[in-house]
Amino acid sequence: MEHFDLIVAGGGAAGVMAAGVAAGTGKRVLLCEKMEKPQRKVRITGKGRCNLTNMRPQDEFLSKVRSSAEFFAPAFEMFSNRDTVAFFEGIGVPLAVERGERVFPSSGKAWDVAEAHVRWCRKQGAQILCRSRVTEIHTHEGHVTGATVLSPSGKPQRLSAPNVLLATGGASYPATGSTGDGYMLAYKAGHSVVEIRPSLTPLRTGAAWTASLKGLSLKNVGAALTADGRILQEEFGEMEFTPDVGGPIALRMSRRAVDALIDGRTVAIVLDLKPALGEEKLTARIARERETLPHGATLRELLLKLLPSRMVPALADLLRTPLRTPLHALSGADPLRIARTLKSVRIPIDDYGPFTEAIVTAGGVATTEVDPHTMQSRRVQGLYFAGELLDIDADTGGYNLQIAYSTGHLAGQLRGGENRTETR
């Protein structure tokens, strides 16, 4: 029976990092990747540009982690965003920091990040076997003893190893190989799996007035996510109609929106199209604009002073006032009514994008059952976890890839116990 010190299931960001770290310390490492090449998801992330981390300070960074931030903190302290930047530049990937402290390869190509990472992993000494996957973890008296690997030929092979790392990813973007295989392996090994659901995913609305807004991007708007009328989250930034409700604001809100919809609550996003102006000042501005327009001007001309042209018909629908209405026909109370509408555009949210459209997966292996200082299972000696398979997810902006790099780097050190390696 062939022996390895570590078998890694999954060749994404976390798996490649862990395999390379372990191999670099002299361990015999086998990485099993079910697709034809590793890092398929990394190659398409960030619209093909790969936002691989974010340079915000630690406290601010951790505030963007929506689940298990305290669990993630030790891994981040040991391999931070600055360590990630130094690592990739050290293996030949020049990086650039862009708006919002987001870090991208200077080439603008996610492929460069993936290729360099895989080359480094192989150079470290890890063996990478593509079109293969771990189908079973073998244990004896609470210790890992090996794994069964389905080879590229389709033949199962039992391998000996005192350590197995599950880094198979979540269930988002299944075409890249993230089909949730690791959840069943973790469950069979005795671990709890927090219900998985899409996160950083588009939100659906059935509001008829949004149908004409496909492709419209609203910048510098405020938004509040509500469930049964109660505010759950507030954001500021950019929103897009795709025709779903997307863009950074909606993606950041999607995790709580999905949870609320699953719970059967009435969900909506309430937009403030003029967040820089209070209701009183906005009302005064609308009244002034109305006075400066020529005689015979209509509601259309007034709204064009306040909104992008494509948003004007939608707002008229919300006001229930025809665009051709002459301004002189508006009442003295209408500037306040228009201001209140501009600051409280309600978009009902009826559904959300499935895993095929989600950037990451919320839920996963319960972090209470994993040691945050080693990434080793608290239930099975020699079993490790890293990356999206864990119940950790964060906002868009480079945070989720950093989670993969940090947890993978920590897991690859195999610091979890006396039975972590053998020599043969």
- The pLDDT confidence band at residue 417, using thresholds 50, 70 and 90, is low
HSE of 41, CA atoms in CB hemisphere, 13 A: 34
The candidate with the shortest Cα–Cα distance to 51, out of 96, 118, 117, 5, is: 96
What whole-number distance in Å separates Cα of residue 147 and Cα of residue 182? 13
pLDDT in tens, 131-166: 999 999 999 999 999 999 998 988 999 999 999 999
The candidate with the shortest Cα–Cα distance to 249, out of 282, 223, 230, is: 223
Asked which of 38-52, 166-180, 288-302 is least confident by mean pLDDT, the reply is: 166-180
pLDDT in tens, 308-330: 999 999 999 999 999 999 999 99
- For 77, the 3-state DSSP assignment is helix
pLDDT at 345 over 70: yes
Q: Write down the domain spans for the chain.
A: 6-197+359-411, 202-353
pLDDT at residue 422, rounded to an integer = 41
Q: Which two tokens stand for residue 281?
A: 């000042």
pLDDT at 221 over 50: yes
Query: Cβ of 284: how many Cβ atoms within 10 Å?
Result: 15
pLDDT at residue 423, rounded to an integer = 35
- For 25, the 3-state DSSP assignment is coil
Mean predicted confidence (pLDDT) in 60-72: 96
Average pLDDT of the chain?
Answer: 94
pLDDT at residue 419, rounded to an integer = 41
Mean predicted confidence (pLDDT) in 242-247: 90
- The pLDDT confidence band at residue 418, using thresholds 50, 70 and 90, is very low
pLDDT in tens, 384-403: 999 999 999 999 999 999 99
- Cross-sheet strand order for the sheet of 143-150: 133-140, 143-150, 156-160
- The pLDDT confidence band at residue 421, using thresholds 50, 70 and 90, is very low
Q: What is the domain class of 6-197+359-411 according to CATH?
A: alpha beta
